[in-house]
Structure 1
Amino acid sequence: MRPSSPFRVARTPMRPLALAMLAALAVACSSGEPGAAPEGAPAPAVIAPAEPAAVAMATDDLASKAQQAVADNRIYAPEGDNAIEFYLAQREREPTGEASAEAALIELQPYAMMAAEQAIAGADFPEAERLIALMVRIDATAPSLARLREDLDAARNAQAAALAAAAEAAAEAAATPTPTTTPPPATRPAPAPRPSAEPPSRAPATAVRTPSPAPAPARPANPAQAAAAPAQRPAATPATPARPAPAAGPLVPVSTPFPPFPSEAIARGRSMGSVTVRFTVRANGRVADVRVVEARPEGLFERTVIDTLGEWRFEPGAGDRTETRTFNFRN
């Protein structure tokens, strides 16, 4: 954040100024001319506009603050106190003479891009917008900006759809009446039978059949045959074998162009280099979380690899996959 300089206010004694204003009002009322001030009245105080922070801070101070922020790992955050914003202020102050600030911004832009991707994945949309705005200030023509904006819009739409579905489900649950249990009607006891004058007739006797005992199992004539006969057991039902999970097939590329040879490397006289990166291929076929594992030399070929991988597309798969690729450059 650029330090703001205080407003510079011309100090005028308050009591003489008030008396002068009252005198001007009296003269205006008596003469019929609104707003006429008497001759010799002091001029009102003038408030000077605030000075920009970059004007008040020397270029060397901006460079030292940016280097200290890099050493403290304040690359893109917190807002107003990070290396990218200090380098931007340095470049904006001397746009044609600060080549070191431009080179530093080129190296730090991939970190802002990865942080924006993480903010989108975590549904931190204000932070994602801030980081995208930083990337626009660094290079408004970066090819990864369009992809980041698409991912941000898709994440917002998905969150809005989820909230709408949850609200609709809650409304349906509130509108559905809760069933109430109605107790069964009470039954009255049957009246007791009245005694009869006639003696009760005897019920005819019924023959009760005694169940015959179950026949005893026949014993084998030869005890040896009984020992040799296998015991009959119920056949066990064979267990259904578990189906193996389908193996993840190979990635099917849709658009995987090779990163172009950077012009900065040509300007520095570099004719070859290599970059090894690790990235994640999402289920929708897009590439995210690109991280540089190794770069030779450092600071020349990483940006073109990260920007190009942001445009790669694969056929949608069953889930996220992590891949490692090495790009060898030769001009």
Structure 2
Amino acid sequence: MSRLASPAPRQRTLAAVSIMAVLVLGGAGFWFLHGAKGGPMTASADGQASATKDDGGVGILLDLAKTAVGEKRLVAPAGSNAYEFYLSVLQLDPSNKAALDELHEAFPSASADVERAINNNELDEAQRELSLLREFDSTNYILSLLGGKLDAQRQIMVRQDEARAEVIQSQQSAASGATP
């Protein structure tokens, strides 16, 4: 599946832009309510403190990611999981050590979640999760193995569907042959 066809990067970008827009609006509102009363010096000090506090949304995304890790939402649900938050941090700051370290640390548990989705025949969800992990590390052999397992499970599902269709078709032809 190509990266252009995947909706996940667009969703993360949209989420990051939305968060940044909320931060800007919130900062403007804060300045309007509190900064204007204290004069230009207060507004300037508040703006500097705000800029170092959130780093353009990176701090908020890191907090959201840590919360998601604590709640065991490593790769699911879509749009609200640790991997998507950490990957959004890396879009804003590609060398963010905290995000890189957490992605590496969460990888074994996240890949186990993908395997669990495959075993539960949640194949579309497993594909989405696997694509998310591949965005972080496309060369990992574990992801290659999971991709092979997912493909095999899809083939099994196709064969089972074909067998069911054949049974239904034979029942319909037997019923139409028995009716004069």
Give TM-score, length-normalised by structure 2. 0.66
1:175-225 alpha-carbon deviations (Å, 9 max, x no partner): 123399xxxxxxxxxxxxxxxxxxxxxxxxxxxxxxxxxxxxxxxxxxxxx
Task: Give the % identical residues.
Answer: 30
How far apart in 2 are the matches of 1:142 and 1:55? 32
How far apart in 2 are the matches of 1:179 and 1:52? 65
Is 1:85 paired with 2:84?
Answer: yes
1:212-257 alpha-carbon deviations (Å, 9 max, x no partner): xxxxxxxxxxxxxxxxxxxxxxxxxxxxxxxxxxxxxxxxxxxxxx
Structure 1 counterpart of 2:64: 65
The Cα of 1:52 is off from its aligned counterpart by: 2.9
Q: Paired residue for 2:156, among 150, 155, 158?
A: 158
How far apart in 2 are the matches of 1:138 and 1:4? 18
Count of residue correspondences: 134
Structure 2 counterpart of 1:216: none
Give TM-score, length-normalised by structure 1. 0.37
1:252-280 alpha-carbon deviations (Å, 9 max, x no partner): xxxxxxxxxxxxxxxxxxxxxxxxxxxxx
1:233-248 correspondence to structure 2 within 5 Å: none
Structure number with higher helix proportion: 2
Q: Which amino acid aligns with 1:73?
A: K
Q: Paired residue for 1:119, among 100, 117, 120?
A: 117
How far apart in 2 are the matches of 1:76 and 1:64? 16
Instruction: Tell me if structure 2 keeps the 8 A contact 1:54–1:93.
Output: no
The Cα of 1:72 is off from its aligned counterpart by: 2.4
Structure 2 counterpart of 1:143: 141
The Cα of 1:54 is off from its aligned counterpart by: 6.6
What's the C-alpha RMSD, in Å, of the aligned pairs?
A: 2.4
1:5-16 correspondence to structure 2 within 5 Å: none
How far apart in 2 are the matches of 1:110 and 1:145? 11
Structure 2 counterpart of 1:107: 105
Q: Paired residue for 1:134, among 111, 119, 132?
A: 132
Q: In structure 2, do the counterparts of structure 1 residues 3 and 145 end up closer, same or farther at CA, with 3 Å as the change threshold?
A: closer
Question: Secondary structure of 2:73's match?
Answer: coil
The Cα of 1:135 is off from its aligned counterpart by: 0.8
How far apart in 2 are the matches of 1:90 and 1:72? 19
Greater RCO, CA 8 A, separation 6+:
2
How far apart in 1 are the matches of 2:173 and 2:58? 66
Q: Which amino acid aligns with 2:147?
A: R
The Cα of 1:89 is off from its aligned counterpart by: 1.0
Structure number with higher strand proportion: 1
Structure 1 counterpart of 2:17: 52
1:25-71 alpha-carbon deviations (Å, 9 max, x no partner): xxxxxxxxxxxxxxxxxxxxxxxxxx834754521111111112222
How far apart in 1 are the matches of 2:94 and 2:125? 27
The Cα of 1:99 is off from its aligned counterpart by: 0.9
Question: Secondary structure of 1:52's match?
Answer: helix
The Cα of 1:132 is off from its aligned counterpart by: 0.6
Unaligned runs of 5+ in 1: 6-50, 181-331
Instruction: Tell me if structure 2 keeps the 8 A contact 1:132–1:145.
Output: yes
Q: In structure 2, do the counterparts of structure 1 residues 115 and 162 end up closer, same or farther at CA, with 3 Å as the change threshold?
A: same
Q: In structure 2, do the counterparts of structure 1 residues 2 and 166 end up closer, same or farther at CA, with 3 Å as the change threshold?
A: closer
Q: In structure 2, do the counterparts of structure 1 residues 139 and 4 end up closer, same or farther at CA, with 3 Å as the change threshold?
A: closer
Question: Secondary structure of 2:178's match?
Answer: coil
Q: Mark the structure with the bigger radius of gyration.
A: 1
